[in-house]
C-alpha cells in the first residue's frame, strides 16, 4: 500500500474523481508527491523515467479539468503516461510495470477504461482523436477529446496529415503539444502568462468570433484587425503554422505551472473547434540526475534514487547493436559512399560514434520512417551506398516505401534491422515478430539472419556489397559470444552452414535459434543447420535433407504464419517432396511483455521447448527413449 505518511494526498487519489475533489491549493503538493512516487517506483522496476517526470503537471491538470474517462484522453507513444496510470487506479500496481503479467509500459485499452487508445508507436494520437471527436459529433454528445503529443512525435508526417484533416473539419478537439526539447523562452514570463490567459478566455473567443462575423463585409478593416492579432500572437506564439492548418493556437505556456495550466484548460474546455495548446516542459523535471542527462535517464534499468546510478547488466560481450555500430564506422572508413540513416534512433541503433566521426554522412530524419527509406532510395539512385538502421517494429511503418521505392527499383540499400524477434518488457507494440514474413514476399530482397556476433558483421558486409536491396536482422541484446573478426569477408549468398550431422531429424534454424536448436539437436542426434539466408534459401541443401531425413524441423524467432517455415515447405512442394515439416516459431497471437528469456520459453523457443516440440510430434514408439538436455532428464511425450 502507498505510504500515507510520505504521500498524504496521493494516497487519497485512486481515480481522477478523487483529484477533482481536492482543493485547488493542494495541486502543487499533489504534483510534488506524484513526482517523488514515480522516481521511487521506477527506481525499483526500471522503465521510462524522464518523459514521465516531465508530464506530472500536465497529467494532473488534464484529469482535474476534464471528465475522464468520459472525456477521451489520448497519450502519444505513451513514454510519458506513468503519471496518468498512477492517477487512474493503477498506483498500487506500478511495481509490476513492464514485467510479465504486470502493467504495460504504454497505454493499453484492455488495461483501463482511462486508456482511450492503445499506443507504442508515435504520432498516432491526433488521428485517433479526430476519429473519436467525429464519433462524438455524430452521436450528438458534448464529450471532449484531447490528444497529448510530444514535439518529437510531431516530426512525423502522420501527425500533420491528422492536423490538416481536423482543421478542415473544424472538429471539436484539443491537441496538447508537449514541447520538452525547447527551453522556456523569455516571452513565457509574467506578461506572457497574462496574455495567454486572456487569449484562452471565453470572452476573448466570443469577441474574436463576433468581430469576424461583423467585419466579414468590410474586408479592409478586417485585414487591419487580423494583422494586429497576428502581430500580438507572434510575440507570444512561436508557431503560427497551426493557425494556418485551422487550429486555434494558445501558448506557449509553462507546462510545470499547475495553477496556470488548470486556468488555461478550464477556459479551453468551454470552447468549440480544433485548438492546439503549446505546453513547454522539461524531461526529467524535479529529479536533478534526469534533468542533467535526460537522454541517459529516458528509459532506465532499476537505479539508486539517491545517486541516479543504474544497475549494471551482466556483460558477456558486445551487443548486436554495438557490433553494427563498429562495423558501420569501419565500413565508412573504407567507402566514402556510405551514408548512415536513422529515424530518430541514433543511440538505440548504435550510431553515436558514427555521428561523431562522420557527421557529414550521418542522417537523422526524426520520427519519419517512410522518409528515411525513400531518402535512402534517392541516395542509392545517385551511386551512394545508404545503410538504414531501423528497429524491426518501425520498419513496418515504411513497408510501402520498402516495396515500391527500394525493392521494385532493385536499389542497393542495406537495412540493419535491430530488435528483431521478441523484445521483452516493451511488449507487443515493439516486438519484431513479422519482418521475415513481410519481407520474404518481396522480389529482389536479400534477407539474412546471423547466428552470432561475427556472422552479423560478415552479413552486414555481404549486404553492403550486394547490388540490390539487402537486410540483416538481429535481436535486442547480446549473442552467444562469438568474437567479431575485424577482417571482413563476404558470405556466399544462399549458402548455409551444417553445424552437425545426425540421423532421421534435421533442424533448420534461423538466426537466434541456431544455438538452442544445436543444443536440442545434440540431445537427439539430429542434423542441425545454420540456415543464414532466409531469402534466397539453399534449395539444393533442402532437397538433400529431405531425401536423407524423416522429418524437417524449422525454428525461427518470427511469426510461424508466413514465416521461413512456410518458405521451406514451399521449396519442398516445388520439388514434389513429401517429407513432413514441423514449423516452430512465434505463435499466431501477440506476445505480451516479459523478459526476453521468459517469452522465448513461453513460445517454446528455448532448447528445452524445441526438444519437447520435436518429441511430442514423433510417434510414441519413436520417442520412448529418455533424452537429456544440459544434464536434465526430459519427459518424452505429454
Task: Please write the tens of the pLDDT for every residue from 480-521.
Answer: 988 888 889 999 999 999 999 999 999 999 999 999 999 999
Establish whether 369 is a catalytic residue.
Answer: yes
Mind giving me the DSSP string for 21-72?
HS-GGGHHHHHHHHHHHHHHHHHHH-EE-HHHHHTHHHHHHHHHHS-TTTSE
320-473 and 498-634: identical CATH topology = yes
Residue 258, H or E segment: helix 258-269
* CA separation for the pair 299, 163 (Å, rounded): 29
Establish whether 283 is a catalytic residue.
Answer: yes
Check: CB of residue 130 under 8 Å from CB of residue 167.
no
Going by their DSSP bridges, the two strands 47-48 and 299-300 should be labelled as antiparallel
Residue 629, H or E segment: strand 627-629
Check: CB of residue 500 under 8 Å from CB of residue 519.
no
Beta strands in 515-592 (DSSP E): 527-530, 533-535, 551-559, 581-586
pLDDT at 235: 45
Give the 3-state DSSP-derived string for 261-288, with helices as H, strands as E and coil as C. Answer: HHHHHHHHHCCCCEEEEEEECCCCCCCH
pLDDT at 120: 85
Question: What's the CATH class of domain 498-634?
Answer: alpha beta
Q: Please name the residue that has the C-alpha cell 540431445.
A: 523
pLDDT at 338: 98
- Catalytic hit among 98, 397, 457, 478: 397
Kindly tell me the burial class for residue 540, based on how many C-beta atoms sit within 10 Å of its own C-beta (0-12, 13-18, 19 or more). exposed
- Catalytic hit among 64, 72, 90, 283: 283
* CA separation for the pair 97, 106 (Å, rounded): 9
Segment-wise mean pLDDT, segments of 10 residues, the chain, 638 residues: 92 96 96 95 88 94 97 92 95 92 90 93 93 94 94 88 90 92 43 50 57 56 55 51 88 93 95 93 87 78 86 77 97 97 93 96 94 97 97 95 97 97 89 95 97 96 98 94 89 96 96 96 97 96 95 97 95 90 96 92 96 88 50 48
pLDDT at 621: 42
- Catalytic hit among 369, 455, 515, 557: 369
Check: CB of residue 104 under 8 Å from CB of residue 90.
no
- State whether CATH 3.30.70.980 applies to domain 10-300: no
320-473 folds as: Rossmann fold (3.40.50)
Domain ranges of the chain: 10-300, 320-473, 498-634
pLDDT at 301: 83
Amino acid at each position: 500500500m502507498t505510504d500515507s505518511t510520505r504521500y498524504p494526498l496521493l494516497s487519497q487519489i485512486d481515480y481522477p474523481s478523487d483529484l477533482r475533489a481536492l482543493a485547488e491549493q493542494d495541486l502543487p503538493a499533489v504534483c510534488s508527491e506524484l513526482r517523488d512516487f514515480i522516481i521511487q517506483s521506477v527506481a525499483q522496476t526500471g522503465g521510462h523515467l524522464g518523459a514521465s517526470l516531465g508530464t506530472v503537471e500536465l497529467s494532473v491538470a488534464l484529469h482535474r479539468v476534464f471528465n475522464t474517462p468520459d472525456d477521451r484522453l489520448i497519450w502519444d507513444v505513451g513514454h510519458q503516461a506513468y503519471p496518468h496510470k498512477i492517477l487512474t487506479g493503477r498506483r498500487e500496481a506500478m511495481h509490476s510495470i513492464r514485467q510479465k503479467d504486470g502493467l504495460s509500459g504504454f497505454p493499453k485499452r484492455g488495461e483501463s477504461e482511462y486508456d482511450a487508445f492503445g499506443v507504442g508507436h508515435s504520432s498516432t494520437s491526433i488521428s485517433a482523436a479526430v476519429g473519436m471527436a467525429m464519433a462524438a459529433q455524430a452521436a450528438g454528445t458534448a464529450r471532449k477529446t484531447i490528444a497529448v503529443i510530444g514535439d518529437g512525435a510531431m516530426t512525423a508526417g502522420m501527425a500533420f496529415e491528422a492536423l490538416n484533416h481536423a482543421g478542415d473539419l473544424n472538429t471539436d478537439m484539443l491537441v496538447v503539444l508537449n514541447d520538452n526539447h525547447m527551453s522556456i523562452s523569455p516571452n513565457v514570463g509574467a506578461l506572457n502568462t497574462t496574455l495567454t490567459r486572456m487569449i484562452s478566455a471565453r470572452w476573448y473567443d466570443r469577441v474574436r468570433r463576433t468581430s469576424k462575423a461583423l467585419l466579414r463585409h468590410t474586408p479592409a478593416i478586417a485585414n487591419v484587425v487580423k494583422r494586429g492579432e497576428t502581430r500580438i500572437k507572434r510575440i507570444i506564439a512561436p508557431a503560427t503554422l497551426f493557425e494556418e492548418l485551422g487550429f486555434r493556437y494558445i501558448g506557449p505556456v509553462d507546462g510545470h505551472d499547475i495553477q496556470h495550466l488548470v486556468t488555461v484548460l478550464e477556459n479551453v474546455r468551454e470552447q468549440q473547434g480544433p485548438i492546439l495548446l503549446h505546453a513547454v516542459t522539461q524531461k526529467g523535471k524535479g529529479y536533478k540526475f534526469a534533468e542533467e542527462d535526460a537522454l541517459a535517464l529516458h528509459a532506465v534499468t532499476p537505479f539508486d534514487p539517491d545517486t541516479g546510478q543504474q544497475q549494471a547488466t551482466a556483460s558477456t560481450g558486445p551487443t548486436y547493436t554495438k557490433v553494427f555500430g563498429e562495423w558501420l564506422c569501419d565500413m565508412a572508413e573504407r567507402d566514402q559512399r556510405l551514408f548512415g540513416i536513422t529515424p530518430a534512433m541514433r543511440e538505440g541503433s548504435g550510431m553515436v560514434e558514427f555521428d561523431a566521426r562522420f557527421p557529414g554522412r550521418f542522417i537523422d530524419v526524426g520520427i519519419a520512417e517512410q522518409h528515411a527509406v525513400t531518402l535512402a532510395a534517392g541516395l542509392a539512385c545517385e551511386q551512394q551506398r545508404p545503410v538504414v538502421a531501423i528497429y524491426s517494429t518501425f520498419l513496418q511503418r515504411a513497408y510501402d516505401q520498402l516495396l515500391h521505392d527500394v525493392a521494385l527499383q532493385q536499389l542497393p540499400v542495406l537495412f540493419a534491422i535491430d530488435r528483431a524477434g521478441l523484445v521483452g518488457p516493451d511488449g507487443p507494440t515493439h516486438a519484431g515478430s513479422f519482418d521475415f514474413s513481410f519481407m520474404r514476399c518481396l522480389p529482389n530482397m536479400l534477407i539474412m539472419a546471423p547466428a552470432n556476433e561475427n556472422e552479423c558483421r560478415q552479413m552486414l558486409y555481404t549486404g553492403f556489397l550486394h547490388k540490390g536491396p539487402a537486410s540483416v536482422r538481429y535481436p535486442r541484446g547480446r549473442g552467444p559470444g562469438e568474437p567479431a573478426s575485424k577482417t571482413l569477408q563476404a558470405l556466399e549468398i544462399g549458402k548455409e552452414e551444417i553445424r552437425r550431422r545426425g540421423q532421421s531429424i534435421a533442424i533448420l534454424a534461423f538466426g537466434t535459434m541456431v544455438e538452442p536448436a544445436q543444443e536440442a539437436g545434440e540431445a537427439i542426434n539430429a542434423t542441425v543447420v545454420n540456415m543464414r539466408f532466409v531469402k534466397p534459401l539453399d534449395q539444393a541443401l533442402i532437397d538433400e535433407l529431405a531425401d536423407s531425413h524423416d522429418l524437417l524441423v524449422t525454428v525461427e524467432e518470427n511469426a510461424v504464419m508466413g514465416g521461413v517455415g512456410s518458405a521451406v515447405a514451399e521449396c519442398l512442394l516445388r520439388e514434389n517432396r513429401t517429407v513432413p515439416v514441423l514449423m516452430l516459431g512465434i505463435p499466431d497471437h501477440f506476445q505480451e511483455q516479459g523478459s526476453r528469456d521468459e517469452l522465448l520459453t513461453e513460445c517454446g523457443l528455448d532448447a528445452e521447448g524445441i526438444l519437447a516440440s520435436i518429441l511430442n510430434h514423433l510417434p510414441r514408439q519413436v520417442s520412448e527413449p529418455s533424452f537429456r538436455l544440459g544434464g536434465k532428464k526430459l519427459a518424452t511425450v505429454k
